[in-house]
Chains A and B, each alone.
Chain A
């Protein structure tokens, strides 16, 4: 018992610090979302912010962020799988792997600008498509309400990160197991669904959830490459706080996002445990 206590005391500077800030920050924000600690008016309990949370605008932002999270995480996962097979055992494996890591070191905002530039109305993509006579008029990739460029930037940015997680898992599947599958009559698709996918499922769940959390809460990319409407949740939160001075609603959005992510992570660990079993 005494020993236990000692251990906890030793851990306190590290864990205590994290716990303290987690509890204080989340607690504070939750209080704010119920009308306390109001910067701009009278403080006091109110459900006003939570009520206005369920507006059309917020719902659209929520769906937008969910879509960005889902498309980016699953999209880059698919590309990661395809790429892993393409380079597995290939002569250029090392070179390709190191080149693909580059986007990890480029800040999202910079990457976003690079890609917007390419896909601009007068950007290089339109230029090439036009000079090849594939299109007559330049395409507006970044139109009023398309998230196309956001997906593109997010996949570009996150795919290498997923590859980094997934590649060793795929690499570690023994060749003779794949050979055995083919020997017993499995073509490429069955080989993937029967052997590769199940054997890498728990790793791919990690890869998906990590990218999902990052892209679901993204601010930078959707602010630059995103449509005019809807905003991503983070952008909406920022807008509510700074442009509308509505800190209560902003706090409610923040708490809402934390709840969504916590729910997702719990679902993930539940799944993970089931798979391990």
Chain B
């Protein structure tokens, strides 16, 4: 597979401090890759090195087959949106946005057309003649976004482009970024703190911690199968349990953990490893339950957000609603509980 960007063993130090440590990644043409990690883990440093503002201390950067380490930023055909916005303070919104177009010798018509499109995309139409200092923080951020996207480069770099926007605007602008990126097939590296954003927008998520890549994969892989405790706890929430010992019972393997014995369906289970369980996957039952009943499922009707299940106990049918994701099928033996507080006495005959 051809690569658009290939980074091999990138090391970047500030004095004695290693901000990025043997970072390697291959990015396919048109791929949308998101760097996700806590503050100070080196995301901006990676972007700045790709853009050419920082020199790599070790390692190589290729765009396609082209060795890029010594190519100056203005010759890289990359457009970057800065975390600090970096708007030109003496230029109007319009002249900020059309700067890249002017530098590349675009015609006046193209410039004004792209400026209108860009400002519309970030919901700032009509503010063409304002100066950056006459805009709110979120508006400045959107101008920076429009400026970076006005040119159609080989590679787009975004450094937390939506951090200052309200939730609703964040979602719409996010979708527009993705639409444009798809339309022009622009290889994109995107940086964010926001995991929901990362999961929803990316082809691939790269989880970083103190200059290292912890895990990379599709959003689903990262979420469902975190490889290490850092990823498990950084993306969403996880309970991480150390496996003390392993035993088999009836052809199934069990892990002995601090909270108890847990069945694990993995060939790699062995003492010393850890397992993670997402809080939302745990089902709670009160101890010493009363009203524990059992029966056989006689019918299941899928109704969108829930399933309507008929359970037959001793020839009597009970109607039960369960969440759409609960796996029930006709013929299954199940138990169910009825909370005491929910049992209502009918007072009239």
CB of A195 within 8 Å of the partner chain:
yes
Most buried by A among B51, B80, B87, B99: B99
Q: Which of A171-203 contact B (CB under 8 A)?
A: 174, 176-177, 179-187, 190, 194-195, 198-199
Query: B99–A181 contact, CB under 8 A?
Result: yes
Question: Taking CB as reference atom, which chain B residue is nearest A191?
Answer: B74
A195 touches which one: B51, B74, B78, B88 (CB < 8 A)? Answer: B88
B114 to chain A: closest CB distance in Å? 13
B74 touches which one: A176, A186, A198 (CB < 8 A)? Answer: A186
Query: A186–B103 contact, CB under 8 A?
Result: yes
CB of B53 within 8 Å of the partner chain:
yes
Chain B contact residues (Cβ within 8 angstroms of A): what range?
Answer: 20 to 34
A176-B84, A182-B74, A184-B147 as given contacts; A199 in contact with B79, CB under 8 Å: no
A182-B73, A186-B103 as given contacts; A177 in contact with B147, CB under 8 Å: no
CA of A41 to CA of B302, assembled, Å: 120
A185 touches which one: B84, B100, B147 (CB < 8 A)? Answer: B100
Query: B82–A180 contact, CB under 8 A?
Result: yes
CB of B89 within 8 Å of the partner chain:
yes
CB of B90 within 8 Å of the partner chain:
yes
User: Cβ of A190: which chain B residues have Cβ within 8 Å of it?
Assistant: 103
Tell me how many residues of A have a C-beta within 8 Å of chain B. Answer: 17
Q: Which of B55-108 contact A (CB under 8 A)?
A: 72-74, 78-80, 82, 84, 86-90, 99-100, 103-104
Query: B90–A179 contact, CB under 8 A?
Result: no
A176-B84, A190-B103 as given contacts; A183 in contact with B79, CB under 8 Å: yes
User: Cβ of A176: which chain B residues have Cβ within 8 Å of it?
Assistant: 82, 84, 86
CA of A199 to CA of B100, assembled, Å: 18
Query: A177–B103 contact, CB under 8 A?
Result: no
A176-B82, A190-B103 as given contacts; A183 in contact with B88, CB under 8 Å: no
A21 to chain B: closest CB distance in Å? 41
User: Cβ of A174: which chain B residues have Cβ within 8 Å of it?
Assistant: 84, 86
A183-B78, A184-B79 as given contacts; A177 in contact with B104, CB under 8 Å: no
CA of A181 to CA of B104, assembled, Å: 12
CB of B162 within 8 Å of the partner chain:
no
User: Cβ of B147: which chain A residues have Cβ within 8 Å of it?
Assistant: 180, 184
CA of A190 to CA of B72, assembled, Å: 15
Question: Taking CB as reference atom, which chain B residue is nearest A187?
Answer: B74
Query: B86–A177 contact, CB under 8 A?
Result: yes
User: Cβ of A199: which chain B residues have Cβ within 8 Å of it?
Assistant: 89-90
B82 touches which one: A179, A186, A187, A195 (CB < 8 A)? Answer: A179
Query: A181–B80 contact, CB under 8 A?
Result: no
Query: A179–B73 contact, CB under 8 A?
Result: yes
A183-B80, A186-B74, A187-B74 as given contacts; A177 in contact with B100, CB under 8 Å: no
CB of B235 within 8 Å of the partner chain:
no
User: Cβ of B80: which chain A residues have Cβ within 8 Å of it?
Assistant: 180, 183
CA of A199 to CA of B147, assembled, Å: 19
CA of A71 to CA of B82, assembled, Å: 41
CB of B151 within 8 Å of the partner chain:
yes
CA of A28 to CA of B216, assembled, Å: 85
Query: B78–A177 contact, CB under 8 A?
Result: no
CA of A179 to CA of B72, assembled, Å: 11
Query: B86–A184 contact, CB under 8 A?
Result: no
B249 to chain A: closest CB distance in Å? 61
Q: Which of B258-283 contact A (CB under 8 A)?
A: none
A184 touches which one: B53, B72, B100 (CB < 8 A)? Answer: B100
Query: B103–A180 contact, CB under 8 A?
Result: no
B83 to chain A: closest CB distance in Å? 9
A199 to chain B: closest CB distance in Å? 6
User: Cβ of A181: which chain B residues have Cβ within 8 Å of it?
Assistant: 88, 99
B92 to chain A: closest CB distance in Å? 12
10 A-B residue pairings within 8 Å (CB atoms): A174-B86, A177-B87, A179-B73, A179-B86, A180-B80, A183-B73, A183-B79, A183-B80, A199-B89, A199-B90
Q: Known pairs A176-B86, A179-B73. 11 more at Cβ < 8 A?
A: A174-B84, A176-B82, A177-B88, A179-B53, A180-B88, A181-B88, A182-B74, A183-B51, A185-B100, A186-B99, A190-B103
